Structure 1
Amino acid sequence: MPSNNHEVPLELFRERPELAAKIARDVFGLPVPEDTCWRLGPETVTALGPLELHLDVALVGGRPERPNFAIIQEVQNTCTADDLARIGSSWPEYVTSLRKRLACPVVLLAYCPTERVAAAVGRPIQTGHPGFVFTPITYWPGRLAAITDPEQAREWPELVLLSAPGHLQDESRHQVLEMVLKAVETFGPERGLIYYDYISARLPEAVRAELEELMTISIENYRWESEFAQRHQAIGRAEGVAEGRAEGVAEGRAEGEAVAVLTVLGARAIPVDNSARERILACSDLEQLSEWLTRAVTVTAVSQLFDSV
């Protein structure tokens, strides 16, 4: 089953078909028409016999009856030997089959998580026919430009999410993370939270904490009106309340067990000095307290409570 790391980026391209065209033009300088409308295209191509090959996303430019350019957008997160074998046999066929079907130029782009994966996936594929060497066009977050301008982040929030993981070592990291918050707000509450979770999961722990701090500071210093920020804030508060309640229940149970230990010792007239009392009351380990309570029924001195513990 495809993972979120595979499906979430594809959703960005499905929701905004012109996104792949912008990347093809701006990053790779491909001759993709600018003044054209883009739509989702077929996501299957027919191989020999009844077999269908399923590509990730096809974006088609031009009028439905007369396409003038098509882009196949793949997301490839790994580069095992099996992956490369599959790619070598299927990706050239994606391009040639869609070109035959639409009668227009077709290019294939592949978004990868790292430069290493992109380099492996982007190796030339020898088809066996003289002069016919298929080379996938690959890119990774760091291949895309860092977005630090708020206006650009609002115009192209998808590019913010695709590029941000590649610029965490840049001097502009703080601005990049700020743009992540601006970008996810543009998607609305439901999709915004999905994309926030996606990008957050791809960040190192320290950077994730920095992003969370930025969100907290923003919420505290600004009266947010967007549903995304309000939803994020509400979820954070709910999680905090739930966590606090869970901690409170655990602390209450521990305190009750500790008092029970002292009650049993007192009922049996066993002296308990201040040091032992403080140790019992300070304990929060329910398993340990349960053991002490069992021992309190039979010990003849409080020191025996702690023996071999």
Structure 2
Amino acid sequence: MVNSSHEAMHRIFQEDPGIFTRTFGALGIPFPDAVAVSQLPTDLTETKPLERRLDTLLRVDTAGGGGYLLAVEAQGRKDPAKHSSWAYYLAHLHAKYGLGPVLLVVCQDESTARWATGPIRIGPPEWPSLTVRPLVLGPHNVPAVTDASVAARDVPLAVFSAITHGKKPYAAAILKALAPALKTVDPDTATILAELTELGLGNNPAAAIWRNLMAADLSFFRSETSQRLRAEGRAEGEARGEAQGEAKSVLRILDRRGIETDQAVIDRITTCADPDTLLNWLDRALTATTADDLFTED
């Protein structure tokens, strides 16, 4: 409950805000003199819902009953608005969970990583009231895993290396080390890690390299790309099977009708992959007098 002593301790600054600068100036912390002071509403309650979302939030319990919160933010570019958001996240998490929060920012380029490293000081330069010190991981400090045996020892770390260095010209070497390493873990885990690798590479040129590597073993790759490749493969297989059946029918009819076919005709019919053409030849085979009659309109 608010009492008179509480009121007096802060109301004095409403009466004479200059007390603040004069007092701390005497203590050796000089703040610039104010040219104007205005009183703002003291109610800090959110009047409307304000959505704020972290990318990932983990509670980490440690031995002895300790622990901390790990807040992970993936940052693709410099965004000055993020500095205040990160400060809000950390203060809110500490108030809500009563655990010390750690902010980890993950970047794919050195410029953004340097910007995110901070320290981010909030408040006047004479005395920042809040300092945010993110831990930052990016191409500047994440090892590039280009050896398959090293990748196999810690496959998730190899995936993270591939994602982090995905924009670099040497990304292909990392991916070529990662591909065989995925076969050392169980298929379900390999599928998830392969998916994360493709997603992490985004539209970078390295993504095409990764898709080509994974196309050799689609059991480890169930992404949209692999599904498309499988569908195309099934369609091509069905089309080939249909074409082969029609080609055999054309040759069988010619044979039953006693029409002579040389190797060139047989090769032309059996190598044709166009179903419509084969259907036309099948119809003509019923009335043709020579094998050349099949092709007269082509």
Question: What is the CA–CA distance in structure 1 between the aligned matches of 2:281 and 2:113, rounded to whole Å?
Answer: 61
Answer whether contact 2:162 2:171 (CA < 8 A) is retained: no
CA distance in 2 between counterparts of 1:300 and 1:68 reads 89
Inter-CA distance 96–181: structure 2 relative to 1 (3 Å threshold): farther
Residue of structure 1 equivalent to 2:86: 91
Q: 2 CA distance for matches of 1:197 and 1:246?
A: 24
Whether 2:249 is the aligned partner of 1:254: answer: no
Q: Tell me what 1:292 maps to.
A: 281
Q: Given that residues 118 and 132 in structure 2 are in contact (C-alpha distance below 8 angstroms), is that contact kept between their aligned partners in structure 1?
A: yes
How big is the shift at 1:193? Answer: 3.0
Asked if structure 2 preserves the Cα contact closer than 8 Å seen for 1:144 and 1:163, the reply is: yes
Deviation at 1:296, TM superposition (A): 3.6
Q: Distance in 2 between matches of 1:183 and 1:248?
A: 28
* Structure 1 SS opposite 2:143: coil
Asked if 1 retains the 8 angstrom alpha-carbon contact of 2:156 and 2:193, the reply is no
TM-score, with normalisation over the residues of structure 2? 0.52
> Is residue 173 from structure 1 mapped to residue 167 from structure 2 by the alignment?
no
Match of 1:220 in 2: none
TM value normalised by structure 1: 0.50
Equivalence for 2:33 = none
Task: Note closer, same or farther for the CA distance 1:286–1:192 as it changes in structure 2 (3 Å cut).
Answer: same
Q: Aligned-pair distance for 1:88?
A: 5.9
**CA distance 1:58–1:259, shift in 2 (3 Å):** closer
How many angstroms apart in 2 are the aligned matches of 1:87 and 1:295? Answer: 72
The corresponding residue for 2:74 is: 75
CA distance change for structure 1 residues 285 and 98 in 2, over 3 Å: closer, same or farther? same
| 1:224-256 Cα shifts (integer Å, max 9, x gaps) | xxxxxxx86xxxxxxxxx999987765443233
Shift of 1:73: 0.8
User: Who is 2:266 aligned against?
Assistant: 277
Give the Cα separation in 2 of the matches to 1:248 and 1:291. 21
Q: In structure 2, do the counterparts of structure 1 residues 248 and 63 end up closer, same or farther at CA, with 3 Å as the change threshold?
A: closer
Change (3 A) 1:247 1:106: closer
Q: Percent same amino acid at aligned positions? A: 27
Matches within 5 A, 1:26-41: none
Paired letter, 2:276? E
In 1, the alpha carbon distance for the partners of 2:157 and 2:134 equals: 21
Change (3 A) 1:183 1:140: farther
| SS of the residue 1:144 aligns to | coil
Could you tell me how far 1:286 is from its partner in structure 2? 2.2
Match of 1:139 in 2: 137
Q: Which amino acid aligns with 2:142?
A: L
Cα displacement (A) at 1:289 = 0.6
Aligned counterparts, 1:187-202, within 5 A: 188-199=186-197, 202=201
Q: In structure 1, what residue type is equivalent to 2:278?
A: L
- Aligned partner of 1:115 in structure 2 is 109
Structure 2: which amino acid aligns with 1:95?
A: L
- SS across alignment from 2:46: coil
- After superposition, the Cα gap between the structure-2 partners of 1:118 and 1:211, relative to the gap in structure 1 and judged at 3 Å, is farther
Q: Residues 95-244 of structure 1 correspond to what in structure 2 (within 5 A)? A: 95-102=90-97, 105-112=100-107, 114-115=108-109, 118=112, 122=116, 130-131=124-125, 138-140=136-138, 143-147=141-145, 148=147, 154=153, 156-165=154-163, 166=165, 169-170=169-170, 173=173, 177-178=176-177, 181-182=180-181, 185=184, 188-199=186-197, 202=201, 203-206=206-209
Q: Superposition pairs for residues 14-33 of structure 1, below 5 Å?
A: none
Residues in 2 aligned to 1:183 and 1:271: alpha-carbon distance in whole angstroms:
56
Q: Quote the residue 2:52 is aligned against.
A: 53
Instruction: Tell me if structure 2 keeps the 8 A contact 1:58–1:71.
Output: yes
1:280 Cα offset (Å): 1.5
Judged with a 3 Å threshold, the aligned counterparts in structure 2 of structure 1 residues 283 and 55 are, in CA distance, closer, same or farther, namely same
**In 2, distance between residues paired with 1:152 and 1:294?**
59
Following the alignment from structure 1 to structure 2, what is the Cα–Cα distance between the partners of residues 180 and 193? 11
What amino acid sits opposite 1:291 in the alignment?
N
Q: Provide structure 2 residue ranges, at least 5 long, that are not aligned to the other structure.
A: 1-44, 221-230
Q: 3-state SS of the aligned residue for 1:74?
A: strand
